[in-house]
Each structure stands twice: as C-alpha cells, then as structure tokens.
Amino acid sequence: MKKDYRKDLEVAARQMILVRRVDTLIRLILRTIMRNMKVNHAGIFLYDKDKQEYVVTTSKGEKGIKVPEGFAKIKQDNPLIRYFIEPTFKNYGQQFLLYEKLSSWLNYARKKKYTSKIEFLNSLREELNLYQAKACIPVFFRNNLIAVLFLGKKKDGSKLCSEELGFLSVLASDVAMAIQNAWLFEDVNKQLENNKKLFLNTVTALATAIEAKDKYTSGHTERVVNYALSIAEHFLQNASIEEKEDFKEKLRIAALLHDIGKIGVPEKVLNKKTPLTQEDREYIFRHPLVGVEILDHVREFEDVIVGVKYHHERYDGKGYPFRLKGDKIPIIASIISVADAFDAMTTDRSYRKALTIDKALEEIKKNSGKQFNPYIVDIFIKIFKENR
C-alpha cells in the first residue's frame, strides 16, 4: 500500500512557518526527511551569505555516517552546485540528482567522447561519494539556490520511488519559503538591535516574500500601505505630531505584514481559479491567526499585531476569525480592512477581473456599516475623490 504524503507535508509546512531560527528549522526539516524517507542519513548544504559558500550546519543519521557540523563547505564552483545552477546541465534534469543515473550519463558521454562532460560527471560522482549521497534535491527561492538537501541510501536497500521524489519536490518548495522566512526574522532582530530605521526595510522584504507566493498580488502590500496611511493622515488631523507619527509607524508595519499568515497557505489555494473548497477556505480563514503566531514573539510587534489579527473582521460581526462587531474592532484593523478590500477589488485575481475604480468605490460605500466601519469609509471616499 502506497503512503499518502499529503498529511505529512501539511504538518511539516505548518511547523516550519512558525520556526524563527534557521538552525532549529534545519533540524526540523531533517527529522521530517528521516521519518518519511527511512534513509540512513541526511543533511543540508545551506548557503552562507557572508562567506558565499554552502555549509553543512547540521546532519542526521547513523553514527559514523552523518556529516559533522561545519565539516563540509563547498564553493559555488563545486560540481554539486554547478549541476543545479548552470544551464549546461538542464538536459540532465536538475529537479533531482540521483546517484544511480550517473553511470548511464557517463557511459553516454564516453560513447560520444564528450571529454569535458566526462571530467565533470566524474567530479560530481566523487562529491556524492564523499557524502555517501544517493540523492540531492535543490532548494530554490525564486532563482537563487539557497540550499541542497542530500540523502543517503534507504535502510531497506530500495530505490526512491516517484511518490517519494514528489514528496521531496514539494517539501523543497516549503523549505525554501521557511528558510527565507527564518532568515528574514533573523535579519529583523539584528536590525532592531542596531537601527530602527533599517527595520522597516527588512519588514518590506518580508512582505515581498509573502507576495512571491501569490502571482496575482504583486504590489498589493505597498498599495495597501499607501491607502492606509492616506486614511490615517485625515483620521489624525487633530492629533499631535508625536501621536500622528507613532500611529502611522504602527499602521505602516501592520499594513506591510497584514497578510504574513499567507505564508502558511498553499500556493495552489492562493492562485486557484476555481471555487474554493471548504478545506481551502479553512486555510484562508486561519491566515490572520497564523500571522499572529509568527509575530507574537517579536516584542516590537506588540502594538501592530492587532492590525494583522483583526483586518478580516466585519463591522456587522460576520467576519473572521473572532466575529468582532462595530467599535470592538481596533481602528488600525478597520483602516487596513478598507484599504485591503479596495486594492483587492481593483486588481486582477485568479478568480476574476479587476473592477473599475468607480465600481470599487461604490462597493465600499454599499458595504459601509456592514463590512466596513462607516467613519473610515467616509474618510476613504472623501480623500480618494479629492486625490484621484
């Protein structure tokens, strides 16, 4: 009976998005691989941005087989790295590197007398032998190779089947987002310690990482920030300069991160063109809470989390996740709600075309007192028409 890996992938993905330390994340990834693949060892070459090399920081497996921490370091000109990033080797199939395929490739290269390829393939085989790796899987974030997973032989002596390779392929995609997410959080904490101004740049990068999952929302976060700050400017016209700047800074960060919980929503759900299933909707309904779980341990986010947590609540109490009603919804969340909805309506999505600006404004006005805080709607309509 074939194993269904879907549940294991969902559990692993949910766990990974909540991990903020890269070393902890790597251990979690390797445990997932060891548990599902039943191999005698596994490890990860992780890219070190400062040294510009790939390093095995952690590996798991039988004593005497696993690679010691920090022992293995390879540069970008290493055959293992070149195989995955150079177009020359595309015909070999760069989604996976399987040791068992090397012999047939070498025989073909010898037959055709491809001297340079023979040398490269021999070097590649020596690398795999060095780490006793039977399979390697690249981990890309966009076009950057940020890690390489390597697996030893299976304990029962069998070869990796198509279902297992499929599992590793999907896992690699989740690993890429998780590593990038963990790196960004590490960067955030460093920036907070050193310079508060640079902190906003890192938060913006984190927001960009969210949008990378959803091809229909490019630029969405930036537009929501701009709409929200325009509302706040009018909303705070009688406030002191200090109060105004403090509120706008919190609003800016909350708007930047309002959809961070979508890191935990599968891309196939975000980009789905057909109606969402109940399971799909549960992912969507849960994303504000996932966002809170991600941000909850960052002390500096304490005052902005409410914007992430409540931006899908409705004024009539029919929103999610807590069904808050009326003025019980924090004003920062009410502002983001209007800005978010307007941008969603005026941009193309996977399931529909964009509305015109007039039609979107009409929808916002029609839902005043239902979905949206009436006071925020009045401000938005006014400033939008004045600054169209």
Highest mean pLDDT pick, 11-15, 62-66, 370-374: 370-374
Give the residue from 176, 209, 228 where a domain finishes.
176
Query: Are the beta carbons of 261 and 308 closer than 8 angstroms?
Result: yes
The stretch 312-336 carries a mean pLDDT of: 96
Q: Indicate if the pLDDT at residue 1 is higher than 50.
A: no
Q: What does the mean pLDDT of the chain come to? A: 85
- Predicted pLDDT of residue 198: 57
Give the residue from 110, 143, 176 where a domain finishes.
176
Domain count, the chain: 2
- Helix, strand, coil abundance in the chain, percent, nearest 5: 60, 10, 30
Residue 170 shares a structural domain with residue 212: no
Residue 185 lies in a domain: no
Residue 273 shares a structural domain with residue 203: yes
Residue 190 lies in a domain: no
* Chain center to CA of 53: 23
Residues 63-105: tens digit of each pLDDT: 655 666 656 888 999 999 999 998 887 777 768 899 988 888 8
- Residue 253 maps to which CATH number? 1.10.3210.10
Residue 200 shares a structural domain with residue 125: no
To the question of pTM greater than 0.75 for the whole model, the response is no
* DSSP E strand stretches across the chain: 41-48, 53-61, 73-74, 97-98, 135-141, 144-151
Residues 266-319: tens digit of each pLDDT: 878 877 878 888 888 888 899 999 889 888 877 767 888 999 999 999 999 999
The stretch 127-152 carries a mean pLDDT of: 90
More confident residue, 368 or 13: 368
Q: Which domain holds residue 120?
A: 6-176
Residue 99 lies in a domain: yes
Residue 152 shares a structural domain with residue 210: no
Q: What is the DSSP letter of 262?
A: G
- Residue 52 maps to which CATH number? 3.30.450.40
Residue 123 shares a structural domain with residue 167: yes
What burial letters (b/e) apply to 12-39, b meaning 16+ CB within 10 Å? bbebbbbbbebeebbbbbbebbbebbeb
